[in-house]
Structures are given as structure tokens and as C-alpha cells.
């Protein structure tokens, strides 16, 4: 545990000593600010029907997905690829530490950064709460959904970072894998009649999962899917690190 | 302290390390030599449990690599080639990080940090960001990181590459000092370094051991008879003949301009008889020196590939290489 904490601390030092972290944070806040503006103007429009406005915030807009698909690879790309490129993987893995611990530490640091990314958005909730009645239940489940989605995507990104020593390639691989994972669930629309495949694809549909969370529905199937998916990729990451660390 | 038995590593059908066996007793400083691509780094990576061997056994400080690779890493301090470090961290942050991942007990972190900072002379740069340090300091930070858990065994892969002569001397002194209370394996290309630092030399080529012994040992084993070089002004044609009759002299080779190389058995010192002979014959002795084969000669002899060898190369060198 102590080693994992040491890895997390080191990783956070690395994040916040590079301009990338601040760029990501700034861009993210700009985007969220824009979405917040949309929500507010939406609420001010007398034609608006009764709905939960924060749904827009949690996966209700394409911006949310676009940004997530871009930003997660940026967070995860250097995790292992940079260790490999600079050679620091060698002193790291000749310390009494396992590949699993390395992956766990790196992933948790990325998850922490992701949480920090979302933290300022709580301010919007507080502002809205002051001026209008909002139901905090869906907000909480929305944040849970965001966290779980991050868990899955960051897991994918971490595993992709073990495959190469080039950060850019790691980012592209992560992006491709996440787009695949995201779009495969949307394919359920292609099937008209109910079948095993349609059910399976529906199960994997991240868009509807996020929609459920934003409406306050915490479906354990969604929780299981994202957590187990994330853990599967983390396991693959540890195996891949073990197999090809010297190359 | 370090036992290696029949160690092999094969990368996609290419044997990089081929049936290597050696033993390093506690407290020895072993120089690990070999041309580029001989398998030095791969061997070191196996000894530090970074790469798994294809075959063979490694035991370091009583811990078998197969049984407990993570435990073995605890006994070894490893400084890889080119000293990879995290440029964005400060020196003391890095040492703290190393202490944490190397299982240094919490109560000893402070003492160990002071110890390595002191030994590697890092006091003045503790708060500096590693990326801004000079190469010499970075080398010392790497070494400090490898020492933080006070391992009994140190494995250093080319620790003086890329340093200026002053820095090389400092690092070398540090290694000699560390050699007093650590078992050290040191790989290098710089042969004078080996003579200064190491009690024993292991030369490998194409993954196999071609020589093993102290520098003096190797010299007498691989270079043949000791020789002296003399220059005699006024020496006539019979000089070579007269010199070869001196006691102990095996062979005299004139090299022109009154210069001769005398090979002798090494049991008797021929320098005094040479001097007396010169006086007797009225020659002026202008130069006389012992020829000492350098480790470089031995290295070149043992590791030059047959295909690189010029046709005129002596056949006995090849024989010597194959003998081992």
C-alpha cells in the first residue's frame, strides 16, 4: 500500500509539473462553463418543459463525450509509455515492487487527476441550487456515473500506455479503443428484433448508461459493467507490462 | 554473494547470454567487460530480476531468483546504463520515492537519506529539480537512489559514461569506497578504470565468458613472456646475437635503429646483464623499459571476432581465446 501511495504521489508531481495538466484543466472548465451557460439559458426560456437540467451536464450533450474521449488518453498516455521511453522503468521494476502495484499506483493517480478535473464543477451545482430547486439525488448519481465511466476509460488508457514507448501512439491507441468501446454499444440501434446480440450491445451502451445515471437511476448492471471492464483492462495492463517490460 | 549457474537468455532464437556461470564472493569488486552487444546489460538485467532468464540459476545474497524475484530485488542496488531519472522531481522527493518503493522501514528513511546524500555528496542540490542538474550530479543522484535501501550488492552499468574527467575521478573514488563494504559488479568500457577499481575481471563476448581473473592474472595468462625494450647507440650487427646469449633471454627482436625487444622468462631480470654488456662493448644505453601488456591488449585479443581479424593475426591469440 505504501508503495502504491508513493507511486501516486510521484505521478501527481509529474502531472502538475507539466503544462499539460493545466491546459487540460482549463479547457475542461471552459467547456463545462459553456454547458452550464446552456443550462442556465435553457432554464430562463419560458418554453422549457419541466426536466432535470443537470442531465445536460452528465452525458446529455455530445460535448461531454467528445471531451471525455479526448481527455482520458491525454491523462493516461504517459503513465507507462514515458517510463519505458526514458528508461526509468528499469530502476522502478528492479525495486521490490510488482507489476500489479505499478499499474495500480499509476491508474489511481490518473483517477485522482480525473476527479480533480470534475471537482470545480460542483460550484455550478451550488449556484443552481441557490437560484432554483434542483434534486440532488440525480446530481449525486450523475457524478457516480462520471466516476464509473472514468474508471472504465482510464483503465483502457492505462493498458494502452503499456504497449508502446511513444506517448502519442499510446494516446491514439487509447482513443481508438475507447471510441470502439463507446460506439459498439450504440450499434444496438441496428437490431430491430430483440436478440441475444441486441441485448448484449444494449448492455454495453454507455450513452444510455450515462443517461440513466443522470436521471438518478443507479442500475447495478451499469456499475458492474464499468467496474469489471476497467479492472479487466488493468489486469491486461499488468500482464502486458510483465511480458514486454524489457523491450 | 552472487552465484550464477548456466545462465542463458534467448531473444527470438538469438542467444544473447549463453550458458554463463560465475561466482562473486562477498566484498569483491568485479569488473564486467565485453564489447557492445556481448550481453553485459542483459546479464545485469537478469541479476536484478528485471528480465527473466531463459535458463539457469541466479542466487544473490542467498535468495533464488526463481523462488523470490521481488525479495532478490531488495538485496540489490542497481544503476542502469544512462541513469534514468524523473526529470520533474526534486532530489529529495526522488530519494523519498525510492525509499518508499524499496521497502526502507519508515524509521530509517531519514537516516538512510542522510547517509546517501552524504556519501554521494548531494548536500548542495537536495532541493533542486533533477532535470536542471549536470550529468555528474545526475549520476550521483542515480547512485544515491540505488543505495537508499543499503543493499549488500551493487550492480552498476557503465556508471562513468558521458562524464568529464574530473567527474569520472569522483565517481570512481566513490565506487572504490563503496567497494569496501559492498559486493559490486561494475560494467564498463574504460579499461584503466577496471585496473584501478576492480580486483577481478570477467570478460564476456557473444554471451560467453572468455576470461576470468585478476588483471595481473590475465596479463600473465594471455600475453606470453614479459619483455624489455632497449635502445643501444653504437650497437653493431652482433648485438642481437650477444643479447640473446644473456641469461634468461628467450628471444631478441631487432626493431631497427639500435632498438631491440628482449623477451625473457621472467625468472631472472635481464636488465642488469644488458647494462653490463653495453658497458663492456662500449655501447651507449639510451633507453631501457619494461613492456607491460595493458588490459586493452588482452581485451582486444579475446574479443576480436575471427571475421574482423586481419589475415596476418597471430594464430596463438585465437588459440588462447578458445582455450578458456
CATH of residue B286 = 3.30.70.100
Residue A31 within any structural domain of the chain: yes
Number of domains in chain B: 2
ipTM surpasses 0.90: no
- For residue B320, the model assigns a pLDDT of 42
Which of A95, A103, A247 has the most B C-beta neighbours within 10 Å, making it the best mutation to test the interface with B? A95
Is the CB of residue B48 less than 8 Å away from at least one CB of chain A?
yes
pLDDT band at B322 (very low <50, low <70, confident <90, very high): very low
Query: Rounded to an integer, what distance in angstroms lies between the CA atom of residue A142 and that of residue A32?
Result: 14
- For residue A106, the model assigns a pLDDT of 95
* Beta-strand relationship, B183-187 and B153-157: parallel
Number of domains in chain A: 1
- For residue A246, the model assigns a pLDDT of 54
**Least confident piece of the model among A50-59, A175-184, B282-291:** A50-59
Residue B319 within any structural domain of the chain: no
Cell numbers describing residue B280: 663492456
- List C-alpha distances in Å: A234 to A26, A100, A157, A228, A238: 28, 8, 9, 10, 6
Average pLDDT over every residue of B102-121:
91
Residue B307 within any structural domain of the chain: no
Residues within 8 A of A (CB atoms), B 131-160 only: 142, 145-146
Residue A46 within any structural domain of the chain: no
CA distance A141 to chain B (A): 37
Which of A16, A84, A90 has the most B C-beta neighbours within 10 Å, making it the best mutation to test the interface with B? A90
Query: Rounded to an integer, what distance in angstroms lies between the CA atom of residue A221 and that of residue A212?
Result: 11
Q: Domain containing B140 — which CATH number? A: 3.40.50.300
**Residues B254, B152 share a domain:** no
Contact B50 A246 (CB under 8 A): yes
Backbone angles phi, psi at B10, to 5 degrees: -115, 125
* Structural domain that includes position A154: 2-41+51-243
**Least confident piece of the model among A3-7, A187-191, B65-69, B247-251:** A187-191
Residue B296 within any structural domain of the chain: no
**How many residue pairs bridge chain A and chain B with CB atoms within 8 Å of each other?**
76
Cell numbers describing residue B26: 562477498
Contact A6 B100 (CB under 8 A): yes
- For residue A56, the model assigns a pLDDT of 67
Contact B50 A86 (CB under 8 A): no
DSSP annotation string for A3-48: HHHHHHHHHHHHHHTSHHHHHHHHHHHHHHHHHHHHHHHHHH-TTP
Which chain A residue lies closest to B103 (C-alpha atoms)? A96
Residue B316 within any structural domain of the chain: no
* Structural domain that includes position B149: 2-220
Which of A89, A94, A241 has the most B C-beta neighbours within 10 Å, making it the best mutation to test the interface with B? A94
- For residue A49, the model assigns a pLDDT of 62
**Residues B236, B168 share a domain:** no
CA distance B71 to chain A (A): 6
pLDDT higher than threshold 50 for residue B139:
yes
**Residues B144, B75 share a domain:** yes
> Of B199, B220, B241, which closes a domain?
B220
- For residue B314, the model assigns a pLDDT of 43
pLDDT band at B315 (very low <50, low <70, confident <90, very high): very low
**Residues B134, B14 share a domain:** yes
Residue B32 within any structural domain of the chain: yes
Is the CB of residue B89 less than 8 Å away from at least one CB of chain A?
yes
Query: Rounded to an integer, what distance in angstroms lies between the CA atom of residue A42 and that of residue A24?
Result: 27
Residue B323 within any structural domain of the chain: no
Average pLDDT over every residue of B64-91:
91
B136 CA to centre of own chain:
20
Is the CB of residue B102 less than 8 Å away from at least one CB of chain A?
yes
**Residues B230, B171 share a domain:** no
- List C-alpha distances in Å: A169 to A7, A78, B204: 23, 10, 37
**Residues B146, B128 share a domain:** yes
pLDDT band at A6 (very low <50, low <70, confident <90, very high): very high
> Of B220, B251, B279, which closes a domain?
B220
Amino acid at each position: 500500500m505504501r508503495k502504491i501511495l508513493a507511486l501516486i504521489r510521484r505521478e501527481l508531481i509529474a502531472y502538475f509539473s507539466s503544462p499539460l495538466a493545466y491546459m487540460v484543466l482549463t479547457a475542461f472548465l471552459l467547456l463545462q462553463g459553456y454547458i452550464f451557460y446552456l443550462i442556465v439559458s435553457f432554464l430562463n426560456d419560458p418554453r422549457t418543459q419541466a426536466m432535470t437540467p443537470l442531465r445536460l451536464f452528465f452525458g446529455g450533450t455530445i460535448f461531454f463525450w467528445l471531451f471525455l474521449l479526448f481527455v482520458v488518453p491525454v491523462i493516461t498516455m504517459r503513465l507507462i509509455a514515458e517510463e519505458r521511453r526514458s528508461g526509468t522503468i528499469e530502476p522502478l521494476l528492479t525495486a521490490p515492487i510488482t507489476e500489479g502495484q505499478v499499474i495500480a499506483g499509476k491508474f489511481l493517480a490518473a483517477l485522482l487527476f480525473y476527479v480533480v478535473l470534475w471537482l470545480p464543477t460542483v460550484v455550478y451545482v451550488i449556484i443552481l441550487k441557490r437560484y432554483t430547486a434542483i434534486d440532488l439525488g440525480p446530481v449525486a448519481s450523475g457524478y457516480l456515473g462520471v466516476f464509473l465511466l472514468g474508471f472504465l476509460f482510464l483503465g483502457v488508457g492505462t493498458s494502452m500506455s503499456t504497449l508502446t514507448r511513444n506517448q502519442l501512439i499510446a494516446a491514439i491507441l487509447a482513443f481508438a479503443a475507447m471510441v470502439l468501446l463507446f460506439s459498439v454499444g450504440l450499434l444496438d440501434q441496428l437490431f430491430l428484433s430483440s436478440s441475444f446480440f441486441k441485448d448484449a450491445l444494449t448492455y454495453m451502451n454507455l450513452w444510455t448508461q450515462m443517461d440513466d445515471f443522470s436521471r438518478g437511476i443507479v442500475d447495478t448492471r451499469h456499475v458492474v459493467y464499468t467496474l469489471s471492464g476497467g479492472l479487466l483492462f488493468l489486469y491486461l495492463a499488468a500482464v502486458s507490462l510483465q511480458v514486454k517490460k524489457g523491450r | 554473494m552472487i552465484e550464477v549457474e548456466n545462465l542463458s537468455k534467448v531473444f527470438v532464437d538469438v542467444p544473447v547470454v549463453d550458458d554463463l556461470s560465475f561466482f562473486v564472493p562477498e566484498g569483491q569488486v568485479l569488473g564486467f567487460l565485453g564489447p557492445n552487444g556481448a550481453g553485459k546489460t542483459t546479464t545485469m538485467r537478469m541479476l536484478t530480476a528485471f528480465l527473466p532468464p531463459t535458463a539457469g540459476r541466479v542466487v544473490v545474497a542467498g535468495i533464488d531468483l526463481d523462488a523470490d524475484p521481488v525479495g532478490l530485488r531488495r538485496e540489490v542496488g542497481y544503476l542502469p546504463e544512462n541513469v534514468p531519472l524523473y526529470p520533474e522531481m526534486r532530489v529529495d522527493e526522488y530519494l523519498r520515492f525510492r525509499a518508499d518503493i524499496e521497502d526502507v522501514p519508515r524509521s530509517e528513511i531519514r537516516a538512510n537519506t542522510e547517509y546517501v546524500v552524504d556519501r554521494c555528496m548531494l548536500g548542495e542540490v537536495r532541493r533542486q529539480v533533477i532535470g536542471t542538474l549536470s550529468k555528474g550530479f545526475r549520476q550521483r543522484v542515480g547512485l544515491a537512489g540505488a543505495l537508499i535501501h543499503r543493499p549488500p550488492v551493487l550492480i552498476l552499468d557503465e556508471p562513468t559514461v558521458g562524464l568529464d574527467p574530473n567527474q569520472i575521478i569522483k565517481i570512481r573514488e566513490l565506487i572504490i569506497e563503496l567497494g569496501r563494504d559492498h559486493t559490486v559488479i561494475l560494467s564498463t568500457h574504460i579499461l584503466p578504470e577496471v585496473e584501478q577499481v576492480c580486483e577481478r575481471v570477467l570478460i564476456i563476448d557473444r554471451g560467453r565468458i572468455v576470461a576470468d581473473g585478476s588483471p595481473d592474472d590475465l596479463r600473465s595468462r594471455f600475453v606470453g613472456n614479459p619483455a624489455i625494450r632497449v635502445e643501444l647507440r653504437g650497437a653493431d650487427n652482433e648485438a642481437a646475437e650477444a643479447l640473446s646469449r644473456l641469461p634468461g633471454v628467450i628471444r631478441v627482436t631487432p626493431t631497427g635503429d639500435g632498438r631491440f625487444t628482449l623477451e625473457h622468462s621472467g625468472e631472472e631480470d635481464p636488465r642488469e646483464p644488458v647494462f653490463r654488456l653495453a658497458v663492456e662493448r662500449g655501447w651507449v644505453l639510451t633507453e631501457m623499459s619494461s613492456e607491460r601488456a595493458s588490459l586493452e591488449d588482452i581485451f582486444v585479443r579475446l574479443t576480436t571476432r575471427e571475421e574482423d581479424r586481419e589475415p596476418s593475426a597471430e594464430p596463438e591469440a585465437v588459440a588462447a581465446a578458445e582455450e578458456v
